[in-house]
Structure 1
Amino acid sequence: MTKHVPLGEMREATDRRRITLPLAPSLEQRRLQLYIAMLLIDAAAVMIGFGSASWLYFGTFTEQTSLLHSQVLVPIYWTIALSLQVYSLAALRKPGFARMRSLAALMGAETVLLFVGFATRSTDSFSRVSSLLGLAFSLILLLWVRSLTRPLVQARCGEAATNTLLIDDGGEALRVPHAYHIDAREHHLAPDLSDPHMMDRLGLYMMNMDRVMVTCPRERRTAWALVFKSANVSGEIVDPEVSSLGVIGARRDRGFGALIVASGPLGLRSRAIKRLFDVVLAGSAVLALSPVLLLVAVLIKLEDGGPVFFVQKRTGRGNRFFPIFKFRSMRVAQLDSAGARSASKDDDRITRIGRIIRSTSIDELPQLLNVLRGEMSVVGPRPHAIGSLAGDKLFWEVDHRYWLRHSLKPGLTGLAQVRGLRGATDTESDLANRLQADLEYLVGWTIWRDINIILNTVRVLVHDRAF
């Protein structure tokens, strides 16, 4: 089992000259053994699942069609499971990841088998009841055996399932969980490229390590980089600027190198899916709600004869301005185009029809046109007026991360809205809470999360923060 060596204990061992090298056993072979064991255990779970279903339905564990079903299913499952990283380092580290991926692999394998069986007309001999029972039992067994294998992983490979070495060579102080921490000065280690004995000594310390990190002054980084490149290890040099700049990668080109600090939260495929979803949903909504839209427009016009729409400049994707459309809910003479004053309860600027449409969020419906025009999305961070205040500060003065929310199109609704973070921003904390929700939304977008937010939005259309 990999043993974490605290810095104090390591120093004491060094002083006594009792340190044993290499620091850790190789985990590559142990991980490979675990992958093979899990592969066989998964196969056994599928076979036992279908065998149990056969015993319940036919009275025997070895009914021919059930046995054939599981025998054909297992290799298909293995193939999909390997592509889904069911047998990977991530699966060893995260039991939840392994369980979900293994279940997805089994469902995918069954789908492939049914498709092939339908195409070849070979499913007629299979019992549907026995097959469904077998699939259900197999899913349950997969979840169960994955839970049982977690202690085995920890016993064989430790909590992190990898060997990590952090060498402190006078750089930024750093602690890494489940890592071996070495003080280069106490162990008389240095990236001396002119000394073969020192290189051999460094190689012995780094032996069997899956990941080696060093924190050192800038002038020694090049030497350490050459040590890592020659030592056949995954080497990393700690740089404080990587964290402060939010670096996500690096690139080398002709004559220069660059740190990649941004790439956009969505790839081309995700943007295409989101846009198609927006167009279909917004277009359908405009057609379905057209009687409501026309009725509200007429009522607004009849009340004071002013314009139906309130058009205001807002900040959208890429920090670019766009005109947002809303049903006008305030008196014409008191419209706030800059958004410097947030609406409040009993606001004297709001008209009678305006109070109704604001409390029910109907005033936001014209933004469906913004969605169709490509300026907004159905789900995303809500767009703010450039003069909006949180307390007595402009939004971007409260937190510089405010601008990050503009990496996506603004939305009709968002994660902050379904959490009830709406209405006036009277204090800085009002903005901080909804900004945190917006930043959460930027991470790991899926169409299913958008659908979930839309469904939850229905519950908060009428709320006590709508003024």
Structure 2
Amino acid sequence: MYKKSRYSSYIKPITGIADLFIIIGSVFLFEINLTSPYLFIGYIATVWVIIAVRNHFYEVQRHTRIIQVIPLIFRQFLFFGLVLYAFIGVFKQPNISRLALGEYLLFVFFLILVFKFFVFFLFKRYRAVFKGNIRNVIVIGDNEKTRQLITTLKNRLDYGYNFMKQFTIDDNDALRRCFNYVVDHNVDEIYFSVAELSNKQINSLIDFADNNLRELKFIPDNKDIFSKRLKYEYYDYIPVLSIRSIPLQEPVNKFVKRLFDIVFASCIIVFILSWLTPLLAIIIKLESKGPVFFKQSRNGFNYEEFDCYKFRSMTPNKDAHLYQATKGDHRVTRVGRFIRKTSIDELPQFFNVLFGDMSVVGPRPHMVSHTDMYARRIDKFMVRHFVKPGITGLAQVSGFRGEIEKDKDIINRVKFDIFYVENWSLLLDLRIIFQTFMNAIKGEDKAY
């Protein structure tokens, strides 16, 4: 199974943190006459992040032109400067030196301008000369637009695309050969011309990309094709549309979610697991022999396997890694029934969250054997692996948790998971966490 390694996803969060260091560190170089330095630092850091998110300040792609970067910087500092001076009135700080504040703003503007251009050109050079940060791509279709795109991919080495092959779909078997090539040669992205394929072929291509974790982008034959879920971009002057928009692929969103995961998981571990674990350990050990924790291999982000931890709720058995718990399952212990009903058995997964294998909220991970089975049987099942799995998820709070008795159970679960993947927001995560807590208090029919 194909696995993507995208270390470049860390670049934007790292540059964002570097910008914050510049913004915060520069405060101490000027006599601004602050009465509450830490309040000011917290204020400017928060304001910077909010403005950057709204301004898409860190959404500079490999094909972004320098002429698009300059307005981003000026717009960022225009709003940052206005909110910076608002600190005086909002927190009633009449003694602040306006001149020193202006000098600070200009100094930070210059440093971040230089730093952003440096990073921008450094990575272009890195991709063009050292062939790093490369994406393997193919193009489907043979017309003026596809030929222009191929020329751009070959000539613009700073974009970091390795054009591998062009496919012309001239018979019924051509698409299958294309799919085999993508799998055999670890192709990352597929570009195709809408004008070259039938609706049936486009649907097959979309299904293949979804089920094999490939990014699919199409080249429109005109500019009249728009959709809320499509992302419209230009490679030089060639229009390209991404077929699926995934919010958590955006570095800022990824950083916000990871920060929330770390803070939330740390609170659960310190304030709940620190005293609950030894108490449960005694009870679990008294009832049955075996370990306190149960470890099981599951598939997570990009289909990678990881060890998922739970409090042991069953007597040790050889079928634990093959079969889900069913209603009245004789393997479940008495304390196991209680901790499963209240979802307490899932709490050790907050360590998985801290380790980075899981998120607090996301599609629930399945046993490896079940994942392989559903990947073959259920259409678009693999889309769930575009994001990290979660301790709880939208499908679970919507009534699709626990044992999968019929195909419609897993189909509905996948539908909710895909909706979550395509519509993530921090507010949605908070709503799911609240609903999970309420369900745990009330108890759920399929929590056995």
The structure that has the greater radius of gyration is 1
Q: TM-score, normalised by structure 2?
A: 0.49
Which TM-score applies when normalising by structure 1?
A: 0.47
